Amino acid sequence: MPSSTSNSDGSNAKRALLALAGVFVLLNMALIALWQAIPFTPVSEGRYLASVDDHLAMLERSKGEKGRIILIGGSGAAFSISAETLGEELDRPVYNGGIQAGIGFRNLMDLYAPHLDPDNDLIVLLPELELLAGDERYSATWCDVVYLRKDLGRLVGQPRCVPHVIHRTYQEVRHHLTGSTAVDEVYRRSGFNDVGDLTSHITIDRPPPDFSEYRLPDISPEKIDRFEAYVQDNLIARGLAVLYVPAAMPEPACRWRDVEAIAAQLSALGSVDSVRHDLTRFCLPAELFFDGAGHLNREGRVVQTENVRAALAKYATN
């Protein structure tokens, strides 16, 4: 039979454990409150992902413009296409909604949804292979967006972001204490122009990336089906016109037949008459890339912008 002493020891241990858990919860609550209250330093204000709010403001400001075209992709769209040039050549308002694939296509589109106009907008989908492979509701990049927007509602909806937000808050305090103002020369909020194009890289010359060991991202049929279902249910069902155009890819990507099959499947997804794309036009040599598989340099950006213009011209004549 257990002694009264062992019962007492067990109760004390349980109380100590509950007290420790209570302290942990209170500490986290205090840090969440600090996150909401503390002003951001120039480091956070200038971060690349802080541009999400600028893109939302851009879409809201231009909502209702007749014939508006919105390009949707990850950072490949941001780096690799000039909406400014397309707008001038097509004589239509064109905006670049690409930011970063790691945000998650569905997460980004959930943010964009209130700012889209089914009566006027053409949504041009340019999903990189990495965007299709990595479209998850939870990611560190998405948690960064939640943090930078101080979006308490979405934190409640994705509590797995709490440790990330707390870590970023600690970093913010350190930035305040050290007076740090450093921002990356390319990946920065101020690198975007008024129509959403990233332009901070186009004057920088770098050696081309090495794609000799390039591997196709893991894109299962389930991920393609999930992408299609979201587009059907949340864009096309709302009455938005949707057109698919391939994203720029390194030449090795064209060696896989899977890429051609994916492109064909997504071409049929659009709500407007599908355009048959010559995929080889979108598979580009390494010297046209800036720093990775989806990011074109100055010369490559000209090529991909022309590819998109030609696809839109075909759509207009169908």
Percentage of the chain lying above the pLDDT 70 cut? 92
The mean pLDDT of 123-141, rounded to a whole number, is: 92
φ, ψ for residue 197 (rounded to 5)? -80, 140
φ, ψ for residue 123 (rounded to 5)? -95, 120
The rounded distance, in Å, linking the Cα atoms of 243 and 122 is 7
Predicted confidence at residue 113, as pLDDT, reads: 97
CB atoms within 10 A of CB 5: 8
Predicted confidence at residue 9, as pLDDT, reads: 60
**Position with higher pLDDT, 22 vs 201:** 201
Predicted confidence at residue 8, as pLDDT, reads: 62
User: Is the pLDDT confidence value at 3 over 60?
Assistant: no
Q: Residue 6 — very low, low, confident or very high, per pLDDT cuts 50/70/90?
A: low
Predicted confidence at residue 15, as pLDDT, reads: 72
The mean pLDDT of 26-53, rounded to a whole number, is: 92
Predicted confidence at residue 189, as pLDDT, reads: 98
Class of domain 51-136+191-317: alpha beta
**Position with higher pLDDT, 111 vs 8:** 111
The identity of residue 15, as a single letter, is R
Predicted confidence at residue 268, as pLDDT, reads: 82
CB 314 within 8 A of CB 275: yes
User: Is the pLDDT confidence value at 4 over 60?
Assistant: no
User: Is the pLDDT confidence value at 105 over 90?
Assistant: yes
pLDDT digits (tens, 9 = 90+) for 143-193: 999 999 999 999 999 999 999 999 999 999 999 999 999 999 999 999 999
CB 241 within 8 A of CB 72: no
- Separation of first and last alpha carbons in the chain: 86
Predicted confidence at residue 262, as pLDDT, reads: 86
Predicted confidence at residue 2, as pLDDT, reads: 54
The mean pLDDT of 216-241, rounded to a whole number, is: 92
The rounded distance, in Å, linking the Cα atoms of 208 and 194 is 28
The mean pLDDT of 300-308, rounded to a whole number, is: 97
Q: Residue 64 — very low, low, confident or very high, per pLDDT cuts 50/70/90?
A: very high
The mean pLDDT of 260-276, rounded to a whole number, is: 78
Would you list the domain boundaries of the chain?
51-136+191-317
The mean pLDDT of 127-146, rounded to a whole number, is: 93
Residues linked to residue 292 through DSSP beta bridges, in sequence order: 295
List the single range of 30-39, 50-59, 193-202 with lowest mean pLDDT.
Answer: 30-39
Predicted confidence at residue 317, as pLDDT, reads: 55
User: Is the pLDDT confidence value at 21 over 90?
Assistant: no
Which residues, in sequence order, are CB contacts of 124 under 8 Å at separation 6+? 69, 70, 71, 72, 243, 244, 245, 308, 312
Buried b / exposed e across 86-100, counting CB within 10 Å, b at 16+?
bbeebebbbbbbbbb
User: Is the pLDDT confidence value at 316 over 80?
Assistant: no
User: Is the pLDDT confidence value at 275 over 70?
Assistant: no
DSSP string, the chain: ---HHHHHHHHHHHHHHHHHHHHHHHHHHHHHHHHHHSPPPHHHHTBGGGHHHHHHHHHHHHTT-TT-EEEE-SHHHHHH--HHHHHHHHTS-EEE----GGG-HHHHHHHHGGG--TTT-EEEE---HHHHHT--S--HHHHHHHHHTT-HHHHHH-GGGHHHHHHHHHHHHHHHHHT-----SSSBGGGB-TTS-B-TTTT---PPP--TT-------HHHHHHHHHHHHHHTGGGT-EEEE-PPPEEGGGGG-HHHHHHHHHHHTT-SSPP----GGGGEE-GGGEEEETTEE-HHHHHHHHHHHHHHHHHHHH-
User: Is the pLDDT confidence value at 257 over 80?
Assistant: no
CB 96 within 8 A of CB 197: yes
The mean pLDDT of 203-222, rounded to a whole number, is: 90
The rounded distance, in Å, linking the Cα atoms of 176 and 259 is 47
The rounded distance, in Å, linking the Cα atoms of 183 and 187 is 8
Q: What is the CA radius of gyration of the chain?
A: 23
Buried b / exposed e across 296-306, counting CB within 10 Å, b at 16+?
bbeebbbbbbb
